[in-house]
Chain A
Amino acid sequence: MQIHKYDTVIVGAGGAGMRAAIEATKRSRTAVLTKLYPTRSHTGAAQGGMAAALANVEEDNWEWHTFDTVKGGDYLVDQDAAEILAKEAIDSVLDLEKMGLPFNRTPDGTIDQRRFGGHTRNHGEAAVRRSCYAADRTGHMILQTLYQNCVKEGVEFFNEFYVLDLLLTGAPGGRRRSAGVVAYELATGELHIFRAKAVIFASGGNGKFYKVTSNAHTLTGDGQAAAWRRGLPLEDMEFFQFHPTGIWKMGILLTEGARGEGGILRNKDGERFMEKYAPTIKDLAPRDMVSRSIYTEIREGRGCGPDADHVYLDLTHLPPEQLDAKLPDITEFARTYLGIEPYTDPIPIQPTAHYAMGGIPTTVRGEVLADNTEVVEGLYAAGEVACVSVHGANRLGTNSLLDINVFGRRAGIAAAEYASATPDFAELPETPGTFVTETLTRLRDSEGGERVADIRRELQETMDKNAMVFRTEQTLKEALEDIGALRRRYRNVSVQDKGRRFNTDLLEAFELGNLLELAEVLVVSALARKESRGGHYREDYPNRDDVNFMRHTMAYREVDADGNESIRLDYKPVTQTRYQPMERKY
């Protein structure tokens, strides 16, 4: 086991991790540990754009953007954080341009902007052009640009290092400080302890517990799970976003930018059904509403295809030149994976599990919270792994690429400044590698015979069936029961690859353990939230209930003296500044 020492260690090299790294490297000795090569991170899959009220093409301002973010999040957004997001958006986009990002341009050479769901002028009057974009490859360009700038700044990467544990001093309930992380080197199977004064988690989302999802195979919530196992809370995990337009059955995303460019959703009768559900902004209503509308159409028998299980995204009325210029990648996905020509045929779509609004709770400086008020010294989080909370109950499109840049930067600065001002490293626990060594040994040596793939498949099936767009007490209980059974079976999982080099079989088993734990947190949090808000829709409680539930869920893992685990739920107030909750109509 090797031991390394850095001032700042960043876990993850997606948008959030690399934006943090650019700042942290300038200020402290920094290492970035990433399970994927940086340019393989899922930020690269983002298509549509990044929001900022630049007002390059029409009147706009950050206050309108703040309002839209708060309303879009169904008022569960912390308004101080949303204000920072919207204000700093402008410099954040301009910084990326200066780093070299090739945005699409207006005729006068400024950054072009387009419409996106839920972004409006003057508090909901009409859709506004706020999304800065590079064709339908905005995430790709952000990821490449940030990596290029990491190369320029000489950021030190440890590629294909899987962080499997977080080391903290102190015990849950008391004062806690981060001491570092434990990482597994894929190439050799060796364990590494990284001692650090400051640790930033930027390890991305956890959508892989759903079957139909836009998320990469590698989005398994490793960061959330590591914090969770060390007794840190997870906030608002019941809020998961289902993006309306995933490729039918595959879940591959077709950006909302397609509707921003004029694309229309239609049912089997060819009807533009969003006119019924959101008369003002129609197809550009927020994602949760559109996803529910699609399933309502399907349930009422107006779905398309032999099984009436999807609807169409119709781009056929848009000029082919516009599709080629603005939506080249997604039209190619339709051709490659469905054999469909989007110039002439509508594309079959269905909602796809997309984005975790919840995660590790942080302050606006990226500091991780140990409870409602106390921070964990030296521990930070940013990006999809974190919950600041700027997305509340439902994230607006283009606000995540923004989030990773604004709060990635903030966390990078705060962590490096903390590390520079802190003379000593925290004590390591006596046997820092124990948890990882024991877990990996058990997985590798077990003869239990349960297969990772079977358990993961069943987990995904129960999550899709019971904890997706529509939920009830009954479906959630069913999911909880299934997850419990799967967790028991997971104890008997065994992997076939017993080797040390590139043992992805072993790591998939570890990742499955993370998914199981996080799925349980999602379902338990969802069961307790007896209301409907944003991405969390309870058919048995179809209305928003501000009296009882205008508060963030804080879930904690508890272990009793006999080693039995349970989940305790607590709540945290929502920070409201300017905006009083109103009914969310579009």
Chain B
Amino acid sequence: MSSTLTKPGPGPEAAAGTSAAAHKITATFRIRRYDPEVSDKAVWQDFTIEIDPKERVLDALHQIKWDVDGTLTFRRSCAHGICGSDAMRINGRNRLACKTLIKDLSPEKPITVEPIKGMTVLKDLIVDMEPFFQAYRDVMPFLITTGNEPTRERRQSAADRERFDDTTKCILCAACTSSCPVFWNDGQYFGPAAIVNAHRFIFDSRDEGGEQRLEILNDKDGVWRCRTTFNCTDACPRGIEVTKAIQEVKKALITRRF
């Protein structure tokens, strides 16, 4: 292997636009505020700050919280799209604040930030995640096997492993479920995320719990509620083909083949 870079090129700084001094713009964030200790009404509040447009929306929220108004409340941890803490509705679309760059949001206009829909708001951008996790737990999201454990690993072909790869990527952020019109209208519906996680096991060649899981999903609040609006697929920050996964589960229910 050659020891030098064959294609020095202009360097990625050009692409990243990262000259020494960051170029800042003035941007307004219009944030949905709610604190039941203060008032039982939610209100919009504008914050105008100077910020580098290549920063994340999460950076803007931090800048506001840390330098302007400490009461602004939201969840976050990893800051790079891995932990699923900060799904919110940004300019009317569900996204992770830490994976959305300001420059991609037409920052000349106010950027709206509000909690994800269909879940009880507890304070500012924080919603009650318990029902969401309950739906997840209800689909038995764990490997079910019978018979004796092998001494070594269970064998699985690379193709069988690939079969359910897409749905293993889920970080339980709820962006999909809270973008689903069926879920907004009917809080009983399991929602896409739970089905994604059922899919992850139903199509795992090692799993033997498919029948039980399909029974659960065959329920009146199960997969049949899905109206294939594709909102969930558009919302998923992990690029999971959520609607396709739901369709595959429906098909498995009809054919009982998976």
Contact = CB atoms under 8 A, between A and B. Distances in A.
A264 B4 CA distance: 10
B201 to A, nearest CB: 8
A460 B155 CA distance: 47
A105 B122 CA distance: 43
Interface stretch (B24-32, B68-76, B111-119, B248-256): B68-76
Interface in B122-170: 122-124, 126, 129, 133, 137, 140-143, 149-150, 152-158, 161, 164-165, 168-170
A99 interface: yes
Interface stretch (B77-85, B182-190, B215-223, B224-232): B77-85
Contact of A453 (B6, B67, B152): B67
A44 B5 contact: no
A44 B171 contact: yes
A307 B19 CA distance: 8
Interface residues of A, number: 81
Given A108-B155, A497-B71, A271 B80 contact: no
16 contacts: A36-B83, A98-B149, A108-B155, A111-B153, A140-B169, A216-B77, A216-B79, A217-B76, A249-B18, A344-B7, A345-B9, A345-B15, A348-B16, A451-B66, A495-B70, A504-B73
A499 B35 contact: yes
A339 B168 contact: no
Nearest to A219: B77
A149 interface: yes
A139 to B, nearest CB: 8
Given A45-B80, A98-B153, A149-B142, A270 B73 contact: no
A46 to B, nearest CB: 9
Contact of A144 (B70, B168, B204): B168
A500 interface: yes
Interface string A414-452: 000000000000000000000000000000000000011
A304 B13 CA distance: 9
A553 to B, nearest CB: 30
B28 to A, nearest CB: 21
A347 B13 CA distance: 9
B152 A105 contact: no
Nearest to A494: B70
A340 B15 contact: yes
A499 B143 contact: no
Contacts of B150: 98
A488 interface: no
Interface stretch (A119-127, A330-338, A389-397, A543-551): A330-338
Nearest to B4: A270
Nearest to A305: B13
A187 interface: yes
B8 A270 contact: yes
Given A104-B161, A306-B13, A42 B78 contact: yes
A269 interface: yes
Given A39-B84, A99-B143, A216-B78, A94 B3 contact: no
A152 B122 contact: no
B151 to A, nearest CB: 8
A499 B152 contact: no
B188 to A, nearest CB: 20
Contact of B3 (A217, A271, A307, A452): A271
Given A102-B204, A339-B16, A346-B5, A151 B141 contact: yes
A99 B71 CA distance: 42
A39 B201 CA distance: 18
A152 B77 contact: no
B3 to A, nearest CB: 5
A267 to B, nearest CB: 9
Given A304-B11, A347-B12, A452-B66, A271 B77 contact: no
Is the contact region of chain A dominated by helix, strand, or loop, or is it mixed?
loop
Nearest to B67: A453
Contacts of B149: 98
B86 to A, nearest CB: 10
Contacts of B56: 337
A98 B153 CA distance: 7
A579 to B, nearest CB: 29
Interface string A300-316: 00001111000010101
A151 B83 contact: no
Contacts of B143: 98-100, 148
Nearest to A106: B158
A337 B101 CA distance: 8
With most chain B CB atoms within 10 A of its CB, the pick from A340, A499, A504 is A504
A59 interface: no
A348 B13 contact: yes
A339 B55 CA distance: 12
B73 A271 contact: no
B142 A100 contact: yes
Interface in A68-104: 93-94, 97-100, 102-104
Please name the 10 residue pairs, one residue from A and one from B, whose CB atoms are nearest each other, closest first: A100-B143, A270-B5, A496-B70, A453-B66, A109-B155, A148-B142, A505-B70, A270-B4, A152-B142, A40-B83
Contact of A94 (B17, B141, B142, B153): B153
A137 B169 contact: yes
A339 B15 contact: yes
Given A148-B141, A495-B70, A40 B77 contact: yes
B1 A317 contact: yes
Interface in B164-207: 164-165, 168-172, 201, 204, 206-207
Interface in A126-161: 134, 137, 140-141, 144, 148-149, 151-152
A35 B163 CA distance: 35
A241 interface: no
Given A42-B83, A100-B143, A102-B168, A501 B158 contact: no
B11 A305 contact: yes
Given A45-B82, A109-B155, A340 B16 contact: yes
B37 interface: yes
Contact of B70 (A151, A249, A497): A497
A134 B154 CA distance: 15
B65 interface: yes
